Structure 1
Amino acid sequence: MIDLRSDTVTKPTPGMLQAMVKAEVGDDVFGEDPTVNRFEEKMAAHFGMEAGLFVPSGTMSNQLCLNVLTQPGDEVIIDELGHVFNYETGAAAHLSSIQLRPVKGTRGKLTPEQIEPAIRTTNEWDPLSRVIALENTTNKGGGACYSKEELTEIRKLADRHNLAVHLDGARIWNAMAATGIDASFFGSIADTISICFSKGLGAPVGSMMLCSREQKKKARRYRKMWGGGMRQVGLLAAAADYAVENHLPLLKKDHERARQFAETVHRSSHFNITMETVESNIVLFDTIEKSAKEWVEVFTSNGIGVVPFGQHTVRATFHFQITDDQYDQLLSTVSEL
């Protein structure tokens, strides 16, 4: 199977497994795991933030970030395609007693002009707008990336209205590879950031919340409350660190392959695709005669794993464990289809 269902399907490499075996570990609930402590400090410094907190998943990281930025009854402004709104099982309401206000953006991205009308007044019957939540790259937006200028303008808007900015950077590494933006820039525009190591970078488990030292203190308590307190977690931190050091350069090839695959799809009369939307490792294309579900079955029967992303939309996601032979076979099979 040529598995393009997600960039989460990768397996640990031999080098990563060796890094895990060699990791120095301790009890992280007691704050005594040296490997995860060093890795948290390293990632915080890399993004220009004060502190990092290693967690099991991107959902937990996002929810911890929103929790430390809000009080019960507050509201978070988010694009209607955002992961926090669509794929985190209503966690913001359940865990932090806050509500999300979805706004229609463009391919999962928001502009100040789209955000500002959603900012509430200070009437006592209104919820209080507290956070602008952004996603970079956008999942349901097909891997779209924010530019420096776009993020800078949103930060200015947030400052004018005394709002915090949270950045869901599950695929921030892809955004950096696609745009060339330095990691520290994201720390300069966001109050909290969630980064993931188990997607394009290929670690088996793990995300990290980046925040202030004071926010980390609160978040550690809630991480424990929500079942995320881990023990000898240096094993996983070592895998994530190895992924950052060794797999980050591979993302550009994923992007190049995604572009070439999109060009192959573009030549087919069965699909519609806008080439300008292919910015990173995610390719979304629309089906014509058949539904997305029917086309997924066709792809599957031909040894290609993709997922339906709407009634007539299919998603293919590229990662570094697609071999050269598999990729050649992929293009040949799609051309034949």
Structure 2
Amino acid sequence: MSTGQQTTALVDLRSDTVTQPTAAMRAAMLAAPLGDDVFGGDPSVNALQSQIAGLLGFEAALFMPTGTQSNLCAILAHCGRGDEYIVGQQQHCYRWEGGGAAVLGSVQPQPIEHAPDGSLPLARIEAEIKPDDAHFARTRLLALENTLGGKLLPFDYVQAATQLAADKGLLRHLDGARLFNAATAQAEALGTDVYDEARRIAQCFDSVSVCFSKGLGAPVGSALCGSREFILRAHRVRKMAGGGMRQAGVLAAAASHALEHHVRRLRDDHALARQLAQGLAGIPALRVEPPQSNIVFVDLQGQAADQGAALLAHLQSQGILATGLYRLRFVTHLDADADGVARAVAAIRGFFAR
């Protein structure tokens, strides 16, 4: 029996990982032909691997349960025990993935600070490359992330950094968890095609990890792309890490659907992020970082600097979720819309108007 009350939908802006599969994606998953991927016999997994490798211009790809495992397999396939990789302080494969390369592979990270635009200064990269001397770990790999904290690494920088690495004999890995967000931002700026830009970015690297469960809206999964020889090495690491799945095609089908249908719509997420930032502009207590993709960072300032927890609690009471792990963060995605963003803006303004 109806109570006459209408439930207000939750506005979840914590991450673009919270999306639910669309009806069309669920249908693709249900219809997916299946096999045993550990035996290499799942046709949907094989199709996805060929699809993403071809799209980004690589010889081969490997479907992974998670982006964390994809980055781990990449680093361990490129580096051996006693090697090191150069990485940024805020990159996922250094800060946010449990130290896996060091713990599981005895591969040492050499983290360096980011420039304000998210890049790693070229002079710092070059300075951290170790000489061939028994006192030092062997520098083998440069790892970049694009987007990083929602910021697009400028393409000229990506070219220069990866060329520097190649000139110094280093391999190059891209954590492209949100590669298609980066490509969308780049395509919007240049008036080009998002798929072309994704391939252009990817081809600067020896390996690329792409996540399907963030902006692309699939429930699970990432892919690691590279040469056939590299993917064979990564496959062995994936097995050791417990990443071999059986009838994984039901998940691969969701990722294939996302690649075909959810890439071009990323520009809608970017537009919503701009709508959110514009709606918060002018609030004296806030410093809003202009978004370059689908992530809006907000810093509390002045007398409001210690009110982050109270603001998040207020938002939750209004049916709006965000995160404040190190800064307030709002992420737009497939399941967010303009009305939800407007509700978030109104709730935040209401909190500071009290």
Return 5+ residue gaps in structure 2 as ranges: 1-9, 188-195
Alignment of 1:189 with 2:204, yes or no, is yes
Provide, for residues 136-165 of structure 1, a one-character-per-residue CA deviation record: whole Å limited to 9, x for no partner: 0013xxx11112211110122112210011
Which residue identity is paired with 2:343?
Q
Q: Which residue of 2 aligns with 1:270?
A: 285
Partner of residue 294 from structure 2, selected from 270, 281, 289: 281
Q: Which residue of 2 aligns with 1:223?
A: 238
Which residue identity is paired with 2:207?
T
For normalisation by structure 1, the TM-score amounts to: 0.95
Provide, for residues 83-141 of structure 1, a one-character-per-residue CA deviation record: whole Å limited to 9, x for no partner: 111111110112211011110112432131231111112221011111111000013xx
Shift of 1:224: 1.4
Which residue identity is paired with 2:309?
K
Return the alpha-carbon distance in structure 2 between the equivalents of residues 326 and 146 of structure 1.
29
Shift of 1:336: 2.6
Quick check: 1:111–1:150 contact (8 Å CA) kept in 2?
A: no
Shift of 1:244: 1.3
Alignment of 1:103 with 2:112, yes or no, is yes
Return the alpha-carbon distance in structure 1 between the equivalents of residues 219 and 269 of structure 2.
19
Alignment of 1:48 with 2:57, yes or no, is yes
Q: Which residue of 2 aligns with 1:260?
A: 275
Quick check: 2:174–2:202 contact (8 Å CA) kept in 1?
A: no
> How many residues were matched structurally?
330
Which residue identity is paired with 1:82?
Q
Shift of 1:211: 1.1
Return 5+ residue gaps in structure 1 as ranges: none
User: What is the identity percentage for the equivalent residue pairs of Structure 1 and Structure 2?
Assistant: 39
Q: Which residue of 2 aligns with 1:314?
A: 328
Which residue identity is paired with 1:159?
A
Which residue identity is paired with 1:182?
E
Q: Which residue of 2 aligns with 1:122?
A: 132
Q: Which residue of 2 aligns with 1:237?
A: 252
Return the alpha-carbon distance in structure 1 between the equivalents of residues 247 and 124 of structure 2.
45
Shift of 1:301: 2.0
Provide, for residues 208-249 of structure 1, a one-character-per-residue CA deviation record: whole Å limited to 9, x for no partner: 010110111122122111111011111101001111111112
Alignment of 1:301 with 2:311, yes or no, is no
SS of structure 1 residue aligned to 2:148: coil
Q: Which residue of 1 aligns with 2:67?
A: 58
Q: Which residue of 2 aligns with 1:325?
A: 339
Which residue identity is paired with 1:135?
E
Partner of residue 31 from structure 1, selected from 16, 37, 40: 40
Larger Rg: 2
SS of structure 1 residue aligned to 2:214: coil
Return the alpha-carbon distance in structure 2 between the equivalents of residues 271 and 12 of structure 1.
34
Shift of 1:324: 3.6
Partner of residue 169 from structure 1, selected from 176, 193, 198: 176
Return the alpha-carbon distance in structure 1 between the equivalents of residues 93 and 202 of structure 2.
20
Alignment of 1:152 with 2:162, yes or no, is no
Mean alpha-carbon deviation: is it higher for 316-325 or for 18-27? 316-325
SS of structure 1 residue aligned to 2:265: helix
Matches within 5 A, 1:198-213: 198-213=213-228
Shift of 1:59: 0.3
SS of structure 1 residue aligned to 2:157: helix
Q: Which residue of 2 aligns with 1:83?
A: 92
Quick check: 2:275–2:341 contact (8 Å CA) kept in 1?
A: no
Q: Which residue of 2 aligns with 1:292?
A: 308
Return the alpha-carbon distance in structure 2 between the equivalents of residues 23 and 162 of structure 1.
42
Alignment of 1:138 with 2:148, yes or no, is yes
Provide, for residues 275-331 of structure 1, a one-character-per-residue CA deviation record: whole Å limited to 9, x for no partner: 3xx100011110121243332222222221110132xx2011110211343233223
Quick check: 1:137–1:145 contact (8 Å CA) kept in 2?
A: yes
For normalisation by structure 2, the TM-score amounts to: 0.90
Q: Which residue of 2 aligns with 1:247?
A: 262
Shift of 1:198: 0.2
Which residue identity is paired with 1:293?
A
Return the alpha-carbon distance in structure 1 between the equivalents of residues 259 and 310 of structure 2.
37
Return the alpha-carbon distance in structure 2 between the equivalents of residues 330 and 33 of structure 1.
43
Quick check: 1:64–1:219 contact (8 Å CA) kept in 2?
A: yes
